[in-house]
Amino acid sequence: MLNVPTLWTAFVINFFTMGLIWAYVVRSYPKLEAARFWTASAIAAGLGALLAMARVIVDSLLPLVAGGTVLVFAGCLAAMGVFRFYDRRISWRLSFLITGLTCATLIFFIVVHDSVPIRILVYTVGQSVPLALTLKLLLAPHSTPTLAVMAEAGILGTVLGGVPLLASFENTAKAEAAIGAEPNSTRRLGALGVAVIEDAERLSQRLRLSNAEFERLMALEYWWRVRPAAGEHAARVLLYQLGPASFTDRVLVAWSRSAAGAADRGWQELATLPQRWTAPRFPLKAADFLNRGVPKGPEMGAALRAAEQAWIDADFPEDRAAIYAIADRVSIRIRSSTD
- State the amino acid at position 36 in one-letter form: R
Q: Of all residues in the chain, what percent carry a pLDDT higher than 90?
A: 59
pLDDT digits (tens, 9 = 90+) for 42-87: 999 999 989 988 887 888 888 889 999 999 999 899 889 888 887 7
Regarding whether 241 and 323 lie in a shared domain, the answer is no
- State the amino acid at position 299 in one-letter form: E
Average pLDDT over residues 104-126: 89
What is the model's pTM?
0.72
pLDDT digits (tens, 9 = 90+) for 152-188: 766 677 677 788 899 999 999 999 999 999 989 899 9
Regarding whether 65 and 88 lie in a shared domain, the answer is yes
> What pLDDT does residue 339 have?
59
146 within a domain of the structure (yes/no): no
> What pLDDT does residue 130 have?
85
Average pLDDT, the chain: 89
257 within a domain of the structure (yes/no): yes
Regarding whether 75 and 47 lie in a shared domain, the answer is yes
10 within a domain of the structure (yes/no): yes
> What pLDDT does residue 4 have?
66
50 within a domain of the structure (yes/no): yes
**Which range (147-151, 322-326, 329-333) has the least confidence?**
147-151
Interior/surface letters 250-272, b for 16+ CB within 10 angstroms, e for the rest: bbbbbbbbbebebebeebbebbb
CA–CA distance, 189 with 36 (Å, rounded to integer) = 26
For residue 124, the enclosing domain spans 4-133
Q: How many domains does the chain have?
A: 3
CB of 81 closer than 8 Å to CB of 38: yes
